[in-house]
Amino acid sequence: QVQMVESGGGTVQVGGSLRLNCTASSGPRSSIGMGWFRQTPGTQREFVAGISWAGDFIEYADSVKGRFTISVDRRKYVNSLQMNSLKPEDTALYFCAMAFGGGRWTNPQQWNYWGQGTQVTVSS
């Protein structure tokens, strides 16, 4: 079993920055990498960013490209999501996850382990 814990959430003003962190208890050999989803009340869980363990494959949602940057430390089973130029529409509960499936990363079913979430609120 893999335990995952997010941290770094909080409240910032429009245009501000936050850095989210995620620590996993282990990194199974069958896993592909780590990433982030976000969800607001009444909406489906949305893919935000993902990165392979080697860092040679990175994917971002169109809505965050150029503003968010994901990184990973394979040896420590840790990844970070640097969020800049935050907008009100970035407000959501952000979930860290670990990928195992070979399908599209935008599909939550490709991610087998999840954290409990950290809240990000962008005030206007």
Look over the chain and give the mean of its residue pLDDT values, rounded to a whole number. 95
Quickly state the pLDDT bin for 1 (edges 50, 70, 90): confident
Whether 27 contacts 77, CB under 8 Å:
yes
Whether 17 contacts 122, CB under 8 Å:
no
Q: Which tens digits make up the pLDDT trace of 62-87? A: 999 999 999 999 999 999 999 999 99
Quickly state the pLDDT bin for 54 (edges 50, 70, 90): very high
- Both tokens assigned to 25: 């208890």
DSSP state of 62: T
Question: In Å, how far are 10, 45, 86 from 74, measured between CA atoms?
Answer: 26, 25, 27
d(CA 108, CA 120): 20
